[in-house]
Structures are given as C-alpha cells and as structure tokens.
Amino acid sequence: MSIRHAVVGTTLGDLTLVASGDALAGVYFPHHWTRPDRTALGDEVPAEGDPVLTQAAHELQEYLAGTRRTFDVPLALEGDEFQQRVWALLNQIPYGTTTTYGELAEQLGDKALAQRVGQAVGHNPVSVVVPCHRVVGKGGKLTGYAGGLRRKQVLLDLEEPSEVRLF
C-alpha cells in the first residue's frame, strides 16, 4: 500500500492528511500530540492529484464551512482492538452533542476504563473525521485535544445548534 500525505490549509490551520492505499489514515494538526514521525507519512504529494486526499480535503472544508455533518471518505485506522472499539464509539456520537470519557467507558462495560478511553481518544489518528472533539471531561469540562483546546472549542462551537428547541 502506498502511503503519502498532503498539507492543506483550513480554518483550523494547516492539516497534514495521510492516505494509505485507497483510504485516509491520518489527519494531523501542527504540534499534534501524537503526530507520527515524518518518515511514516510517506511522500508529500499535491492533494488535488490524489483521489483520497482530494476527497478528505473537500469534506473537511465542507465540514468546517458548516455544510457537512458526517464524512464519507474511507478510513484505514491502525490501532489495537481497544482503540478500535473506542474509535467506533466516537463515530456514533451525533453531530452537535458531547459525551464524557466515563460515559464511553460505561458503554464498553466498565466505568474504570475511563483513563484508557482517554488514551485511546488521544491517539485517534483522524481528528475531526472521527469526532474525538465531542468527548469532554466530567461535568462538561473542556479537556485534552491533540490539536489544542482552542481548536476543540472551535469545533464544538461549529456544531452548536443555531436555534434552541423547546420540547
């Protein structure tokens, strides 16, 4: 499988998009906590010339413009079984909502797994696309984000409902 990357400008700053074969394998911010070594990113290519990177860049731009709520780009996520389970749960968090590390741990069957859940969330290789920004600390506290808390807040604000509905 061919691994390659492109750097694309967004309202969040430059993002490094990594493709592996026919799927997106990474979305990294500058100074990302868990950014892989440069050699693991493969060759740098223009995003416009690569179908996977083009699709990922286009979908991210739509999401950041508020016109997309989910992503369709195929993903290739490398992680252990526990990480895969956590990342699958992240994909189930609806747009505009948040959950906590403890609530995710409970969904996995043991509230005591909250710290391990936090570690798995922090190692999500495709930030934004797999919405780890929707996970907050106990009581809604804004905690940890590989791209920085300012970016996490921007993403949460983007998803905040524009109108209040009373039921």
Buried b (16+ CB within 10 A) or exposed e, 119-151: bbbebbbbbbbbbbbbbbeeeeeeebbbbbeeb
Parallel, antiparallel or unpaired: strands 135-136 and 99-100: parallel
Cα distances (angstroms) measured from residue 166 to each of 6, 51, 99, 162: 44, 43, 21, 13
Residue 42: active-site member: no
Taking phi first (over 0 means left), then psi (-120 to 50 degrees means alpha), and beta for anything else, what does residue 144 get? left
Burial class of residue 105 (count of CB atoms within 10 Å of its CB; 0-12, 13-18, 19+): buried
Q: Which position among 56, 75, 129, 132 bears the catalytic label?
A: 132
Active site residues: 132
